[in-house]
């Protein structure tokens, strides 16, 4: 962690903020190193190393928030930044109708590191580049049918320090590593895209057992397989969703509407705590904990110990995800969901790792017990809205007939309303997987993860015309 | 010695063949809105230096915040080490030589640079109250940010240029609610180099859009016309820039490869890329590799005339750079201007027999295969030239390149949507799919 001298300086800064009239003040210091290697069509397009260090000072003065960030750590610069934070709060105070209040949260003094075996900072850049080159060689084995390939390696190492006027002092060191491949296969005028990813809160051990080659193989073979697939008929259908597609729906179409800031603004879950909003089989959590999940956080960016939030339990809406401010407005408990992209931003309510809890069906049984429908796997992106309306592009699909997988389809979209979909769930698998590392962009970027088991539900299936 | 020069010299000293350096510095404040309230004012100062280094056609980059001589040297060493470990990019043919730069007006506004946070708070407070007066409309998010920045670019072949900019970015995101019904979110944005924000207009517009997503009626599937409002039009033409981006043309992911001189769109369509547009939010006197920006016609009366390039892609295509470097390796559009036509907006609506007027589109616009398939939000059903009612979320499905040929009317007014300056546009023969 950072040396004691620097930590003492940050404490002095907090004290000085109180002298300047702040009712509350916190300081977030961050030192982030990331490496990215990107190869497209066999051409090394980017090998980059980036280091950013900075500090955010956030305070409440006259009942209003001010925030100031700086990248210069000499005392005079820190003081200037502090004064700016106070001035910003004063500037916004006259426009506020209600004073900011923070819900109570336990004050912590702690030092935490994410679980890591091989720190990416200690791996030679040549080793990282080698992974990408090897994956590229693997893709080349499939020959000219591969029209486009993009391979990305990324790692992040961050050190954070949080200090508040309430006495918190939390140091966090974390490592994240990700590797993904996008392939476009093409044949006889048909182009089919496919995507595969691995990643998590971990170091270079992610690649143990040559998993990068597995990613290259999976994406390539999927893209090639999809060339032979046909386009489906549209309409409301019974579908079996895999853990990734379910995870996306749970995060994008449902999860955001359970974020307390959006609930306060007014969304589809406003005022619905205690109400039945999904099938009895549905339990959805947002969990900061899974050790290697990409959205792992031990504390949020307000120093609140991050805890598991049971959003839906057996179909009933239980809890929203909160920051200290939203928890105070709603008179609810803090959850540790306030996250900031980096020191240039204020924390806002964000998800961490969001997934549906497993049930007792074996995944193959769900398909075997389905008379007619589709098996839908993975996603290639899409969109969702405040009212739960969504549309996602499915990566791979098969028709199900009398419990058996029949012909494959491509270009499938799913749409509808998240609450209708969750209400229609009638089988939940026992095969929970949290393996959808990615970056969520709700005005700011945040690493998140998610998933769930295989489930069966009803959804509007669309195809290309 | 400045840090840009230092990075170049140090890079050459430790063995690089060529070095490109970009330094930027900015101060910014933003007034943020959340949960129907002014939530805070943020103040940010920062600087960064990034180095792109070339060793035997092996390329690597490193960047540091708040650079000092020492941290710059460390970054250069890091990049050098990474480049040595990398694979050569056999297509790389070297950095460009300096050229005289144009004088571009209106990229720095003194009034904007002197704006006080308190004034900005008042502006957003006004915007908030205008939206809130509409009754059932909530402001989910909003921001007014003012940035003053400086960019300095240099390379080992003698390029050395710098410029100061100001920027204003405003946005409002609103959601309408009635009884237990929640609409889809609506947004409105404004970007400028100077202090000319009309917050009343922005707030009125976002509230109107938000309200138009309540009381929806479903439509049956049909084939008809769509009228793209400014935001959709901007998104459409922004995606289209990839079709004439030299990198995608060279790599084969654009169907507009080998199509120069051919008809690619309806005759009434003209698209210009202009990095020198006075006051343009994407204007500057030099691009991301330090070469002069310029104005060029990409599509003239439906005929494809030019691609946008940097030195790297221009050499690959046997062409000349158009001053569109995002960096020596990447190409990006500057101000994209779709020339206005001669139709008044109400005449365009009046000419639609059966169709949709669409404010927000959310979905796929795939330049590679042309697939346009997605959800329509805040859209009105038009019949016999009359805007009837807002429609329930439905899908549209068509092909980007067919849509270009089916443009049948272009509005006579344009709006600048963050460097994409577009009119409203009518396109015929689009599948509208009820769901």
Q: Where are the domains of chain A?
A: 4-227, 235-462
Q: Judge: B182–A348 Cβ closer than 8 Å, yes or no.
A: no
Residues of A in contact with B374 (CB under 8 A): 383, 391
Is the CB of A67 inside 8 Å of chain B's CB atoms?
Answer: yes
Measured between beta carbons, which residues in chain A are less than 8 angstroms from residue B40? 64-67, 88-89, 92, 346
Residues of chain B positioned with their CB less than 8 A from the CB of A465: 397, 431, 433
Using CA coordinates, name the residue in chain B closest to A325: B39
Judged by DSSP in three states, A112 sits in strand
Contact A178, A27 (CB under 8 A): no
For chain B, the domains span 3-211, 216-435
Please say if the pLDDT value at position B14 is more than 70. Answer: yes
Give the pLDDT score at A233.
75
Give the mutation candidate from A39, A67, A158 for the B interface (greatest B CB count, under 10 A): A67
Rounded distance between C-alpha atoms, residue B344 and residue B412, angstroms: 6
A272 pLDDT above the threshold of 50: yes
| pLDDT of the residue at B231 | 95
Q: Which pLDDT score is estimated for B1?
A: 60
pLDDT tens across A219-249, in order? 999 999 999 888 777 789 999 999 999 999 9
Average of per-residue pLDDT values in chain B: 95
Q: B297 pLDDT exceeds 70?
A: yes
- Mutation for B interface: A57, A140, A389, most B CBs within 10 A: A389
Task: Name the minimum distance, in Å, from the CA of A81 to any CA of chain B.
Answer: 8
pLDDT, tens only, A3-52:
899 999 999 999 999 999 999 999 999 999 999 999 988 888 889 999 99
Geometric angle at alpha carbon A244, from A243 and A249, rounded to 5°: 100
Q: What is the pLDDT of residue A386?
A: 82
Confidence class for position A464, pLDDT limits 50, 70, 90: low
Cα–Cα dist A222/A219, whole Å: 5
Phi-psi region of B410 (alpha: psi -120 to 50; beta: other; left: phi over 0): beta
Q: Which of A48, A89, A385 sits opposite B185 (nearest CB)?
A: A385
Q: What is the pLDDT of residue A279?
A: 98
Which of B185, B299, B52 lies closest to A47, judged by CA? B52
Closest CB to B185 among A81, A98, A386: A386
Q: Is residue A362 less than 8 Å (CB to CB) from chain B?
A: no
Beta-carbon separation of A265 and B393 below 8 A: no
pLDDT of residue B178: 85
Would you state the pLDDT for residue B435?
A: 75
* Mean pLDDT across B267-276: 98
Contacts with B86 from chain A: Cβ below 8 Å: 44, 47, 129
- The average confidence (pLDDT) of chain A is 94
Q: What pLDDT was estimated at residue A465? A: 41
* B194 CB-near residues (< 8 Å, 6+ apart): B106, B109, B111, B112, B166, B168, B279
Higher pLDDT: B397 or B180? It is: B397
pLDDT(A317) > 80: yes
Cβ under 8 Å to B: A residues 70-129 = 70-72, 81, 84-85, 87-89, 91-92, 94-98, 124-126, 129
In tens, the pLDDT along B117-165 reads 999 999 999 999 999 998 889 999 999 999 999 999 999 999 999 999 9
Q: At residue A1, does pLDDT exceed 50?
A: no
pLDDT band at A358 (very low <50, low <70, confident <90, very high): very high
The domain made up of B3-211 has a fold known as PmbA/TldD fold (3.30.2290)
CB count within 10 Å of CB B181 equals: 14
- Domain A4-227 classification at class level: alpha beta
Determine whether the interchain pair A68/B86 forms a contact, defined as Cβ–Cβ distance below 8 Å.
no
For the question of whether the overall pTM of this predicted structure is more than 0.90, the answer is: yes
CA distance A291 to chain B (A): 30
| B252: contact with A, CB 8 A cutoff | yes
Query: What is the average pLDDT across B101-110?
Result: 97
Which residues from A are below 8 Å from B371, CB to CB? 411, 464
CB pairs under 8 A between A and B: 212
With beta carbons under 8 A apart, name residues in chain B contacting A348. Answer: 34
What's the whole-number mean pLDDT along residues A56-69?
A: 96
User: Is residue B397 over pLDDT 80?
Assistant: yes
Q: What is the pLDDT of residue A413?
A: 87
CA distance A29 to A366: 49
> What percent of chain B clears pLDDT 90, i.e. is strictly above it?
88
B239: which chain A residues are within 8 Å (Cβ-Cβ)?
none
Determine the average pLDDT of the residues in A419-423: 96
Looking at the predicted structure, is the pLDDT value of residue A338 above 60?
A: yes
Give me the pLDDT at residue B50, please: 97
Residue B346, Cβ neighbours under 10 Å: how many? Answer: 10
Q: How confident is the model at residue B394 (pLDDT cuts 50, 70, 90)?
A: confident
Q: Which pLDDT score, from 0 to 100, does residue A2 have?
A: 63
Query: How many whole angstroms separate alpha carbon B2 and alpha carbon B154?
Result: 11
Residue A328 CA: distances (Å) to CA of A59, A167, A200, A347, B158: 17, 20, 33, 15, 58
Q: What CA–CA distance (Å, rounded) separates B7 from B5?
A: 5
Helices within B86-214 (DSSP H only): 110-113, 117-132, 199-211
Contacts of A381 in chain B (CB under 8 A): 364
pLDDT of residue A193: 87
* Residues of chain A neighbouring B172 (CB-CB closer than 8 A): none
Residue A314 contacts B where some CB pair is shorter than 8 Å: no
pLDDT tier for residue A71 given thresholds of 50, 70 and 90:
very high
Sequential DSSP letters for A183-195? EEEEETTEEEEEE
Instruction: Give me the phi and psi of A265, to 5 degrees please.
Output: -60, -35
pLDDT for position A463: 64
Residue B271 · residue B256 · CB < 8 Å: no
Cβ separation of B46 and A393 shorter than 8 Å? Answer: no
Q: Between residues A143 and B212, which one has the greater pLDDT? A: A143
For residue B44, give the nearest of A69, A326, A385 by CB distance: A69
Least confident of A263-272, B45-54, B238-247, B371-380: B371-380
Interface test with chain B among A59, A76, A387, A441, by most B beta carbons within 10 Å: A387
């Amino acid at each position: 962690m950072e040396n004691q001298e620097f930590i003492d300086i940050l404490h002095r800064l907090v004290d000085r903020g109180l002298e300047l009239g702040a009712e509350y003040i916190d300081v977030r210091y961050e030192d982030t190193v990331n490496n990215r290697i990107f190869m497209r069509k066999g051409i090394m397009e980017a090998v980059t190393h980036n280091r950013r260090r900075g500090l955010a000072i956030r305070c409440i003065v006259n009942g209003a928030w001010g925030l100031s960030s700086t990248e210069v750590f000499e005392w005079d610069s820190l003081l200037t930044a502090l004064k700016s934070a106070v001035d910003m709060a004063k500037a916004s105070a006259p426009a506020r109708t209600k004073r900011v209040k923070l819900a109570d949260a336990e004050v912590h003094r702690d030092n935490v590191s994410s679980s890591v075996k091989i720190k990416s900072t200690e791996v030679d850049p040549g080793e990282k580049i080698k992974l990408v080159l090897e994956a590229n060689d693997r893709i080349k084995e499939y020959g000219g049918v591969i029209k486009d390939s993009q391979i990305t390696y990324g790692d992040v190492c961050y050190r954070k320090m949080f200090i508040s006027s309430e006495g918190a002092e939390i140091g966090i060191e974390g490592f994240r590593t990700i590797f993904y491949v996008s392939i476009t296969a093409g044949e006889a005028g048909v182009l089919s895209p496919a995507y595969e990813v691995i990643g998590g809160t971990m170091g270079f051990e992610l690649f143990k057992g040559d998993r990068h080659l597995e990613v290259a193989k999976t994406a390539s073979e999927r893209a090639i397989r999809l060339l032979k697939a046909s386009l489906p008929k549209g309409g409301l259908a019974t579908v079996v969703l895999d853990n990734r597609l379910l995870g996306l729906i749970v995060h994008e179409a449902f999860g955001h509407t359970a974020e307390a800031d959006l609930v306060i603004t007014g969304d589809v879950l406003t005022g619905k705590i205690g109400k039945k909003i999904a099938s009895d089989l549905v339990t959805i959590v947002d969990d900061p904990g899974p050790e290697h999940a990409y959205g792992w956080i031990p504390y949020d960016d307000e120093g609140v110990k991050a805890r598991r939030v049971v959003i839906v339990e057996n179909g009933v809406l239980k809890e929203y995800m909160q920051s200290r401010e939203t928890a105070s407005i709603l008179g609810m408990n803090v959850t540790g969901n306030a996250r900031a992209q980096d020191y240039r931003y204020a924390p806002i309510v964000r998800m961490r790792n969001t997934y549906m809890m497993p049930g007792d069906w074996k995944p193959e049984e769900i398909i075997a017990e389905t008379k007619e429908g589709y098996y839908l796997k993975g996603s290639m992106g899409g969109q969702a809205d405040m009212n739960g309306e969504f549309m996602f592009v499915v990566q791979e699909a098969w028709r199900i007939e009398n419990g058996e997988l029949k012909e494959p389809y491509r270009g499938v979209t799913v749409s509808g309303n998240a609450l209708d979909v969750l209400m229609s769930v009638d089988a939940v698998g026992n095969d929970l997987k949290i393996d959808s590392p990615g970056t969520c962009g709700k005005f700011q970027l945040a690493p998140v993860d998610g998933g769930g088991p295989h489930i069966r539900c009803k959804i509007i299936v669309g195809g290309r015309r | 010695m400045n840090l840009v020069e230092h990075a170049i010299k140090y890079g050459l000293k430790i063995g690089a063949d060529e070095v490109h350096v970009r330094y930027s510095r900015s101060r910014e404040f933003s007034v943020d809105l959340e949960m129907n309230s002014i939530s805070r004012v943020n103040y940010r100062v920062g600087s960064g230096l990034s180095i792109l280094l070339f060793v035997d056609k092996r390329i690597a980059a490193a960047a540091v915040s708040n650079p000092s001589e020492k941290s710059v040297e460390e970054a250069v060493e890091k990049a050098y080490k990474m480049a040595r470990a990398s694979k050569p990019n056999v297509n790389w043919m070297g950095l460009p030589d300096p050229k005289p730069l144009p004088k571009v007006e209106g990229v720095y506004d003194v009034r904007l640079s002197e704006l006080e946070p308190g004034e900005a708070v008042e502006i957003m407070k006004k915007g908030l109250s205008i939206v809130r007066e509409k009754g059932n409309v909530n402001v989910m998010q909003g921001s007014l940010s003012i940035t003053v920045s400086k960019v300095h670019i240099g390379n080992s072949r003698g390029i050395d240029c710098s410029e100061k900019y100001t920027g204003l970015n405003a946005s409002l995101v609103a959601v309408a609610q009635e009884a237990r019904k929640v609409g889809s979110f609506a947004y409105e944005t404004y970007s400028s180099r100077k202090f000319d924000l009309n917050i009343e207009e922005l707030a009125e517009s976002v509230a109107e859009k938000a309200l138009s997503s309540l009381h929806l009626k479903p439509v049956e599937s049909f084939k008809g016309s769509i009228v793209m409002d400014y935001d959709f039009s901007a998104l459409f033409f922004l995606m289209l820039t990839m079709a004439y981006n030299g990198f995608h043309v060279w790599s084969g992911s654009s169907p507009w490869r080998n199509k120069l001189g051919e008809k690619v769109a309806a005759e009434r369509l003209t698209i210009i890329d202009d990095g020198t547009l006075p006051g343009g939010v994407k204007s500057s006197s030099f691009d991301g590799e330090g070469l002069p920006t310029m104005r060029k016609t990409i599509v003239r009366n439906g005929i494809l005339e030019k691609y946008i390039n940097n030195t790297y892609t221009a050499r690959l295509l046997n062409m000349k750079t158009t001053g569109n470097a995002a960096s020596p390796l990447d190409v990006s559009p500057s101000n994209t201007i779709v020339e206005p036509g001669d139709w008044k907006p109400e005449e365009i609506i009046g000419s639609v027999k059966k169709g949709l007027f669409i404010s927000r589109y959310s979905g796929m616009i795939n330049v590679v295969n042309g697939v346009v398939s997605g959800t329509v939000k805040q859209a009105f059903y038009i019949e016999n030239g009359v805007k009837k009612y807002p429609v329930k979320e439905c899908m549209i499905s068509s092909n980007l390149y067919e849509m270009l040929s089916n443009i049948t009317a272009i509005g006579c007014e344009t709006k600048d949507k963050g460097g994409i300056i577009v009119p409203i546009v009518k396109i015929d023969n689009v599948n509208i799919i009820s769901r």
